[in-house]
Each structure stands twice: as C-alpha cells, then as structure tokens.
Structure 1
Amino acid sequence: MSNDNFNEIIKRSLHIREKYHQLETRGNGSEWTLEEDALAYLTDAGLVGRNVMSHQKTWLKKDSAEELEHKLAENIWWLIVLADRTGVDIKEALNTFLTKTENIFQ
C-alpha cells in the first residue's frame, strides 16, 4: 500500500468518525468520549476473536467470513480513530513498530 493510499484511508476513516459524532450528538446530546471509543474498539476486537473461532469451526455460528472481514477492517478503522484522538501519528507509529520488530530478526 502506498503512502498516498494510507493517507486516503486515514482521511476517509476520520470523515466517517465525524459523521458518527454527528449521530451521537443528535441521539445522545454529545459525542462519545475517548474512553467510549476505546470500549467500542475493544468490543469489536473481541468480536474478531469470536469470528476467527467461527472461521476455525471452534465456535458454533453460521459461516462468518463476511463478518470477519468486516470486523477486521472495522478494527483498523477504530485504531486510526483512536490514534487521531490521542495525538498519535499512526503512520509513524506503525513504521517505528515495524522497523523495531524487523531489527529483532536481523
């Protein structure tokens, strides 16, 4: 994935989050807090686990390939949102992580 593509994914992700903030304000009178966003992410991360178990046939559920794909992507979206809300440059953080981890195996 090129840097331009990742920039576009980040931009689209934050735009969608803004739309959700508008829905939250209309429905609840305020936007979700950072903590509420983090809890929503953790809920979706747990659902990834269940969907992987279903994929491996260790959790009894209908075929979850589409749901697994959706939840994996949604988790990436949440991480982009959480990085933005906490002031973390996700591109730089990911690059640093990958470099440090690659260096372990050299």
Structure 2
Amino acid sequence: MRINNFEEIVRRSLALREKYHELEVQHHGTEWTVEEDALAYLTDAGLVGRNIMSQQQRWPKAKSADELEHKLGENIWWLIVLAERSGIDIKEAVEKFLTKTEQLLP
C-alpha cells in the first residue's frame, strides 16, 4: 500500500502506538513514558547510522538494506509519536521548519 497523505501517516502511526501501549500495559503494568519513547527513538536513530555505514561498505553487516528501509520508516513513526506526546502538531512543525529554512536559503 502506498500512502500519499501525511495526515494518513500520522493517523496510522498514532493508532499503532496505541496498540504498543496495550502491550506495554500487558507486559509491564504501565505504558512507556515519553522518556522511554525518546530513548527507543534514539536507539533506532543509531541503527539508521549503522545501516547507512553498512550500505556504504564502511561496516560489515548482512541484510542492511532491508533493515535500513525499516529503520528509516520507524524513525519517522517515532518522531510522529514523540511530537504527539509532547503536544506538538508534527504537520505544523514540519511546515514551519520548511518555510523558515527555505527563507534562509534563497
């Protein structure tokens, strides 16, 4: 399935996070905190770096292309989740970033 709408990506991302919250309660008695979500995101961000190194033949790792694709998607998912949990509209944040940066770089 190809997604052409950022709104749909956000909606599906937040619905998926709710399912993970249910698993966390089932396994640990509570949902992960925002801090735990941030740590999980940082771990996955590091794995993006490692898989990029592998893709560029700077680190030996099998199947890094598939994992890189997965981790890039997962990192976007985490950013959506972290924005939501922090009370930030990710669509608005991206729009503001792009507009500000476009104005800085004519």
For normalisation by structure 1, the TM-score amounts to 0.95
> How many Å separate the matches in 2 of 1:23 and 1:104?
44
- What RMSD over aligned residues (CA atoms) do the two structures have, in Å? 1.1
Partner of 1:69: 69
How far is the alpha carbon of 1:63 from its aligned partner? 3.5
Report the residue type matching 1:43 in the other structure: T
Partner of 1:10: 10
Structure 1 consecutive aligned stretches of length 4 or more whose deviation exceeds 2 Å: none
Q: Unpaired runs of 5+ in structure 1?
A: none
Q: Are the aligned partners of 1:55 and 1:63 in contact in 2 as well (CA < 8 Å)?
A: no
Partner of 1:80: 80
Q: Identity rate of aligned residues, in percent?
A: 68
Partner of 1:93: 93
Q: Unpaired runs of 5+ in structure 2?
A: none
Is 1:51 aligned to residue 51 of structure 2? Answer: yes
Could you say which structure has the greater relative contact order, defined with CA pairs below 8 angstroms and 6 or more residues apart?
A: 2
